[in-house]
Amino acid sequence: MSLLEIRNLRTYYFTSKGTVRAVDGVSLDIEEGEALGLVGESGCGKTTLAHSIVRPRPEAMQIVSGSVWFESDSGRVDVARLPENRIRSIRGREIGMIFQDPMTYLNPAMRIYDQIGEALMRHVGCSRSKARQRAVEMLAKVKIPDPLTIAKYYPHQLSGGMRQRVITAIAISCHPRLLIADEPTTALDVTIQAQVLEMIEELQKDLGMALMLITHDLGVVAKVCDRVAVMYAGKIVEEGDIFSLYKEPKHPYTAGLLEATLSIEEFKERLTTIEGSVPDLANPPAGCRFHPRCPYMTETCRKEDPPLNVTEGGRRIACRLYM
């Protein structure tokens, strides 16, 4: 059984301008200890998917149908349906999270070791002094230089890269089985990004936790992940092993995205692009959502939404071409 099993999940936003179908029928598994990359462009629903698992869920956001089964210490639970008081015993303890903007998730008026210690006191029942001591150990684990000094700092005294390390220290303090990282390095400079990615990779291996890395950056996924799922307009269009998927993308969107991705290894005189732009999820196209931009579009694609089928080698593809 998988650690996390997302089944037919639909998460919509009910706004004054209509219903935004941000996640629209997603099924995805994460196995114990693996690193899964979830990639897609802005507005494809990847962050909504993360929030469907662990919340916070804004008022307008609702899980319309589907389930998110998580193998927790106290048995298999559907975290999508769990009441808030029960999700609290899982979030921060069994599922850790790190986000793009650490400042939003750090308390500006609380010293670093108390922020890390908070989770330990709540979930593990540490005393304050024990929690502070463990917090310093966690800071060392995320490779913060001079952890004893930094522990007493406030968030504003730290740089962006250091804050991201602190958030990671909080996320892993209770040894979670799953770490969800939503664009953890997007706001960081490239040399700092390299440091943080290296740290995440090492922690994932050392602690044996599963990682769900959400990003728009195909380079970041290539470095860190074993498996990758590509999202487009609220759906997963392709999913498979990282090596084979990058080498032989099957879905026209995946192929287009990889073609359009720039690399410092290669000079391109003319850049490949995907014509058109990402659809509005309040009013997505009928049939396959990629059809208006797809070079292989047929009459069927306009009408019928292709299911995510398993093909040879375990690759899952949602495209008429591979049915």
Partner 1 sequence: MSPPEALVQVRELTKYFPSGGGLFGTPRLFLRAVENVSFDVLKGETLTLVGESGSGKTTTARLVLRLIEPTSGTVLFNGQDLFKLAEDEMRLIRPRAQIVFQDPLASLNPRKTVMKTLEQPFKVHTSFSNKEIRDGVVDLLEQVGLTPPERFLDRFPHELSGGERQRVCIARAIALKPMFVVSDEPVSALDVSIRGQILNLLKNLQEDLGITYLYITHDLSVARSISSRLAVMYLGKIVEIGDASEIFRLALHPYTQALLSAVPIPNPEVAKTKKPITLTGEPPSPINPPQGCRFHPRCSSASEKCRREEPSLIKREKRLVACHLYA
Contact between 262 and partner 1 per CB under 8 A: yes
- Interface with partner 1 (CB under 8 A), residue from 31, 216, 298, 311: 216
CB atoms within 10 A of CB 303: 11
Whichever of 80 and 162 has its CB closer to partner 1, that residue is 162
Contact between 184 and partner 1 per CB under 8 A: no
Instruction: Tell me the window of 6-14, 20-28, 108-116, 187-195 that interacts with partner 1 (CB under 8 A).
Output: 187-195
Binding mask 39-78 for partner 1 (x = CB under 8 A): --xx------------------------------------
Specify the amino acid at residue 10: R
State phi, psi for 37 to the nearest 5 degrees.
Answer: -100, 135
Cite the beta strand spans of 16-84 per DSSP E. Answer: 18-30, 35-39, 61-72, 75-78
Specify the amino acid at residue 281: L
Total number of residues shown for the chain: 323
- Interface with partner 1 (CB under 8 A), residue from 33, 219, 285, 292: 219
User: Minimum distance from CB of 296 to partner 1 (Å)?
Assistant: 16
Contact between 277 and partner 1 per CB under 8 A: yes
Nearest to 181 by CA among 58, 284, 82, 50: 50
User: Minimum distance from CB of 130 to partner 1 (Å)?
Assistant: 31
Contact between 198 and partner 1 per CB under 8 A: yes
Q: Listing from the earlier edge strand, what are the strands of the sheet with 18-30?
A: 18-30, 4-15, 61-72, 75-78
Contact between 223 and partner 1 per CB under 8 A: yes
Residue 215 and residue 218: Cα distance in Å, rounded?
8
User: Minimum distance from CB of 39 to partner 1 (Å)?
Assistant: 10
Biggest CA pair distance of the chain: 67
Contact between 243 and partner 1 per CB under 8 A: yes
Contact between 273 and partner 1 per CB under 8 A: yes
CB within 8 Å of 115: residues ≥ 6 apart: 106, 107, 155, 166, 170
Q: Which of residues 91-150 bind partner 1 (CB under 8 A)?
A: 145
Q: What is the C-alpha R_g of the chain?
A: 20
Contact between 157 and partner 1 per CB under 8 A: no
- Interface with partner 1 (CB under 8 A), residue from 19, 246, 298, 322: 246
- Interface with partner 1 (CB under 8 A), residue from 96, 147, 161, 234: 161
- Interface with partner 1 (CB under 8 A), residue from 156, 175, 205, 268: 268
Q: How many helices (H) does the chain have, and how many strands (E)? A: 12, 12
Paired residues of 179 in beta bridges: 96, 211
User: Minimum distance from CB of 217 to partner 1 (Å)?
Assistant: 6
Instruction: Tell me the window of 87-95, 105-113, 159-167, 298-306 that interacts with partner 1 (CB under 8 A).
Output: 159-167
- Interface with partner 1 (CB under 8 A), residue from 60, 64, 260, 286: 260
Token pair 């629903």: residue? 45
Residue 127 and residue 193: Cα distance in Å, rounded?
34
Token pair 């979670």: residue? 176
The residue ranges that bind partner 1 (CB under 8 A) are 41-42, 145, 159, 161-162, 189-195, 197-198, 216-220, 222-223, 242-243, 246, 256-258, 260-268, 270-275, 277-278
